[in-house]
Every structure is written in structure tokens, then in C-alpha cells.
Structure 1
């Protein structure tokens, strides 16, 4: 079994620039693990500002880009975890989430958290088949 890390455009650059000790996406043992990804534009490395709908879409676009970098895809996702600063965002998050998982959605956990060192309201992680 081999562990492999992948780069996800400027998102990986943003992680490295802030000296955060993590990889955006790692594969091994037939699985792909996507770290919790906030609404940072993976193409520019800039934080995407906006309401929870905008932030959710960007976080899911980051998960999609990370999976594709590792040779996987959204339809191979087995489990996601959503971290949000407010449980009142639940329905809005579900509205966007359902667009990315229209049928047979993966197992999922929704957690509320206090805050992050950047100004965003959501972060999403995933585990998928390679």
C-alpha cells in the first residue's frame, strides 16, 4: 500500500504559505482522503467571500477539484463531514450540497464549530474511492 499526496492548484499554495501542516488530498489503500476545505478559490488561492450558499459551493468545488487531482470524483464519495459555524445554515447548505450529490448521497456528518483563523463559515472534508 502506497501513500500519495496531490496538489490542488493555488489552494495547496495557500496552505503551504500559511505553514499549515496538511495536504489537501491524500490517497492510499484504494481510498482518497480530502482534508476539510474552506471556501478558498483553488485556482487563485483567495478566500471567497459571500453568504453561506456561495461559501458552500466553493467548498464543494474544492472537494471536487481535490478528488479529480487524485483521480477520483464526486460520484465515488463514501463519506463527507461538514463543519459550519452556525447550525441555522443547515437548510441552505443542503440546498447546494444536493446539487453535487443528486442521487445516492454519501454518508455525512454535520458539525458546528466555533471559528477558524480565517473569516469563513464552512469547511467540508470527504473520503472517496480511488
Structure 2
């Protein structure tokens, strides 16, 4: 059975984008996040800075969501990073390594067409609950 994790401030910021998704769902002892865009949690607006700024914003939201659900970044087992250009590999990795340490979660890095909103990175994860 799946349970949507109640994260009021975080869920409100995501809801402001008017996308039909939940930020974090708990099922079978695991937590599954949606693809998290770079959001300013206070203004509920997309952060349009450079890639390092965007990646940091995404990973901060992920960290807050996991901790709010009783988990942590150390319990992440799978990460998927979506970017609009493969040239973003190095700046995203630089920030990624500030949030994850060895042994690193398994990871996929995927280049996609741009989203209809103005951002260049989105990240999702699966973590132990």
C-alpha cells in the first residue's frame, strides 16, 4: 500500500507548479520521490540560476523531504538525474558530491528535451524508509 508523505511546505511548493504528482510516497519500506525541480520554497517559484545553483536547490529539497519522512541522504539507493544538456554533467557532479558520499547510490544521468518550465535539472530518488 502506498502512503503519500505529508510534507506541508514542500508539498505546497510542488503543488504551486500545478503538476499532478506527489513529492514523496512511502511503499514497501521505501521512499520514492518525484522528479524534483529547482524550487524556491519561500516564493514557490522556479530557481533559474546556473546549474550549480539549480542542482543545489533540488538536492536541498530532496534532503528536507527525506529527513521529513524519517530517512536521510545516506539511505538513498537510486538516483536519476535529468538534464537538458550533457554539458551539465560536470557542474551537477560537483554539487552532487556535496550531498552523497561513497558508497554512492546507483545513478543514471539522462539528457532530455527542455521542460515547459525554465529549468535545466530535475532529480528523483529511491531511499530506504
TM-score, normalised to structure 2's length? Answer: 0.92
Aligned to 1:53: 52
Aligned-partner SS, 1:58: helix
Distance 2:95 2:102 in 1: 13
CA deviations 1:11-58 (Å, max 9, x no partner) are: 422432443111000001000001100100234422112100000000
**Structure 1 residues 15 and 55 mapped into 2: Cα distance closer, same or farther (>3 Å)?**
same
Aligned to 1:79: 78
CA deviations 1:38-95 (Å, max 9, x no partner) are: 1002344221121000000001111111212221110000000000001011011111
Aligned to 2:92: 93
Structure 2 gap ranges (5+): none
Aligned-partner SS, 1:36: coil
The list of structure 1 runs, each at least 4 consecutive aligned residues, that deviate by more than 3 angstroms after superposition, is: 7-11
TM-score, normalised to structure 1's length? Answer: 0.91
Aligned-partner SS, 2:45: coil
Instruction: Give the count of matched residue pairs.
Output: 129
Verify: 1:3 aligned to 2:2, yes or no. Answer: yes
Aligned to 1:118: 117
